[in-house]
Amino acid sequence: MHFHPTSRRVPQWLLAIALAMLLTACGFHLRGAADLPFKTIYLGFAPNSTVGVELRRNIRASGGEVVEQADQADAVLKVLADTRDRQVLTLNTNGRVREYALFQRFTFSVTDAKGVVMIPPTAIVLRRVITYDENQELAKQAEEVLLYRDMQSDLVQQILRRLSASRNALATETVDQDR
């Protein structure tokens, strides 16, 4: 009996189709654009802020408009703190660093055009662990830069989710005030 290579692929295709059906049945879907509760926003970032540039790009991709003056905006994001830190986690037997913890702490608040608080001061703290080897100094520096860039992207996504969630909070407050 001859076994054709194509006949081995049929079970693989069936398995792939079954997995795809299971993913759709559980409600899985790719993250789309954020559903923002405002049309325009003013971002209180420094002009050269990489977080500000990435957040601006994501807001525009979601259909929002970033304005240059706070008085022209439906919402104003105020940056209260944005810091990066590196702390020693472990040392080897010679007292040399083996691991670092990288932190990015970001605190912000959002108000509407009337000054009403949409999102009270909120802190986001991100942490990544990086091993260290003094024999690979340049590689570890590059890895640290990549980890901070990953943390920045994660930070922007968390800010967008909180901005989107503020729509639900505003809708709930409006319903409660109407009662």
Q: Where are the domains of the chain?
A: 32-178
Q: Would you write out the chain's pLDDT as a tens digit for each of its 179 residues?
A: 555 555 667 778 778 887 777 776 666 544 555 678 889 999 999 888 999 999 999 999 988 899 999 889 999 999 999 999 999 999 999 999 999 999 999 999 999 888 899 999 999 999 999 999 889 999 999 999 999 999 999 999 999 999 988 764 544 444 444 44
Beta strands 97-112 and 65-67, pairing class? unpaired
CB 128 within 8 A of CB 101: yes
Angle CA(27)–CA(32)–CA(33) in degrees, nearest 5? Answer: 145
Residue 172: what pLDDT?
46
Q: Which of the 8 DSSP states describes residue 47? A: T
What is 32-178's CATH superfamily?
Answer: Lipoprotein like domain (3.30.160.150)
Backbone dihedral region of 98: left (phi > 0), alpha (psi from -120 to 50 degrees) or beta? alpha
Q: How many CB atoms lie within 10 A of CB 113?
A: 15
**Integer Cα distance of 89 and 81 in angstroms:** 24
For residue 97, which of 139, 135, 142, 138 has the smallest C-alpha distance?
135
Can you state the angle between helices 50-61 and 137-178, rounded to 10 degrees?
Answer: 50
The C-alpha atoms of residue 170 and residue 152 are separated, in whole angstroms, by 27
pLDDT at 21: 74
According to the model, what pLDDT value does residue 162 have? 92
